[in-house]
Amino acid sequence: MGPDLDHSVLDQTGALPPAMDGARIGRVACLVNSRSRCDALRAQPKALPMRAIGICRFSYPALGGFKRMHDTIEEREAYLYDDARMALRFRHFEALTLPSIAAQSDGDFTFLIITGESLPPPWRDRLHDITADVPQVRIIPCPPMRHRIAMQTAIKEELGEDTTESLQFRLDDDDAVGLGFVQGLRWFARVTAKMRRKWRHVAFEYNRGYSVRLSAQGIEAEEVTTHFWACGLAVLFRPGDPRTVMNFGHHKLHHEMPTLINPAPPMYLRAHHGDNDTGETQAPTGLAPLDAATRARFLRDFNVDEDRVKALFAAPCARAG
């Protein structure tokens, strides 16, 4: 809006003084018109804020969706709920995923955690306990179904009437995002508003981060630049779109839609361990113990504390029964 109208140029009836030159008249007219336009804009209903929704699969016994195949749901549940495996997943979730989600600089988002209805009660209770103080988290137990259908259904139910644009991202339960991730996605959406106005979808990617390995000795890390890993990636959808981020393979998003990439700052920590459900092409080759500067960066930018990692991985394995 322009500056306030200079009332000294008007007489008591609101008329312009006869001696006023044309340039001054033009300026006042512009200010009056600007004030009228601003009043009209104030009278219009405000646009709804853009939604931001993340989704995380937490040992969900889906039909498909894993590289490790099982013949029956019972076999898959036995594999997923093995005590040693669950202890490893919880250690990574508590060391990486949850701290980074809980401390986002923009807290206006929802983080859906999809679990199985059959998740053993001790693990279910622990998951509820450790997320209780994070208001963005919603835990959703689902019966076995196709992986993408379960995740898509959860997102659509969270969107409800779906009357505004939405930023959607997926995050594994053993990875972390930078504390400015949600805020950065909104920045992407804001500065590209004119560019993308005719695009049905657009992907936003932060392609720099770290590969990490956690243990009782601490964190080993390697800085990496990657292409379309799920962490550090999001898709913007228009209101009412029947599809979600789960309708696209993250490694082929650039085949389906325009993609905008920001190489700075590093925005993810991707964990590697014995239970990864990924191929060898993502295995790190240059991991090294954290130096003081990287240790400070992890705490400042990801809320990942190496002392906390050591304590979690040194503790005895919890058991479901």
Q: Where are the alpha helices (DSSP H) in the chain?
A: 22-43, 73-80, 83-92, 98-102, 121-131, 147-159, 181-191, 253-256, 292-302, 306-314
For residues 286-302, give the mean pLDDT. Answer: 97
Provide the pairing of β-strand 110-116 with 51-57: parallel
Pick from 241, 150, 139: nearest CA to 200: 241
CA–CA separation, 273 and 275 (whole Å)? 6
Q: What is the pLDDT of residue 320?
A: 63
CA–CA separation, 113 and 134 (whole Å)? 12
Q: Which amino acid is at 238?
A: R
Collapsed DSSP state (helix, strand, coil) of residue 205: strand
What end-to-end distance do the CA atoms of the chain give, in Å? 65
pLDDT band at 102 (very low <50, low <70, confident <90, very high): very high
Tens of pLDDT along 106-147?
Answer: 999 999 999 999 999 999 999 999 999 999 999 999 999 998
Q: What is the pLDDT of residue 43?
A: 46
Express as a percent the part of the chain with pLDDT over 90.
70
Residue with tokens 């014995």: 274
Distances (CA, A) of 119 to 34, 80, 102, 180, 198: 61, 9, 23, 32, 43
- CATH fold label, 51-314: Spore Coat Polysaccharide Biosynthesis Protein SpsA; Chain A (3.90.550)
Tens of pLDDT along 234-254?
Answer: 999 999 999 999 999 888 888
Poorest-pLDDT segment among 33-37, 66-70, 177-181: 33-37
Express as a percent the part of the chain with pLDDT over 70.
79
Sign of CA dihedral 204, 136, 179, 296: negative
pLDDT at 148 over 60: yes
pLDDT band at 53 (very low <50, low <70, confident <90, very high): very high
Chain-centroid distance of CA 295 in Å reads: 23
According to DSSP, the residues that pair with 262 across neighbouring strands are: 206
Poorest-pLDDT segment among 40-49, 232-241, 269-278: 40-49
The CA radius of gyration of the chain, in Å to the nearest whole number, is 25
Sign of CA dihedral 76, 78, 79, 80: positive
CA–CA separation, 98 and 92 (whole Å)? 9
pLDDT at 37 over 50: no
- Per-chain mean pLDDT for the chain: 85
Distances (CA, A) of 79 to 71, 124, 195, 221, 316: 12, 16, 47, 28, 20
Ranges of CATH 3.90.550 domains, the chain? 51-314
Do residues 239 and 215 make contact, with C-beta atoms less than 8 angstroms apart?
no
Q: What is the pLDDT of residue 144?
A: 93
For residues 85-101, give the mean pLDDT. Answer: 97
Poorest-pLDDT segment among 72-76, 97-101, 286-290: 72-76
Omega within 30 of 0 (cis) for the link into 265: yes
pTM of the model: 0.82
Is pLDDT larger for residue 49 or for residue 195? Answer: 195
Tens of pLDDT along 186-210?
Answer: 999 999 999 999 999 999 999 999 9
Assigned token pair, 190: 């804001």
pLDDT at 31 over 50: no
Distances (CA, A) of 232 to 160, 243, 262, 297: 25, 20, 10, 17
- Within 8 A by CB and 6+ apart from 73, the residues are 61, 63, 144
pLDDT band at 314 (very low <50, low <70, confident <90, very high): very high
Most confident residue range from 49-53, 91-95, 279-283: 91-95
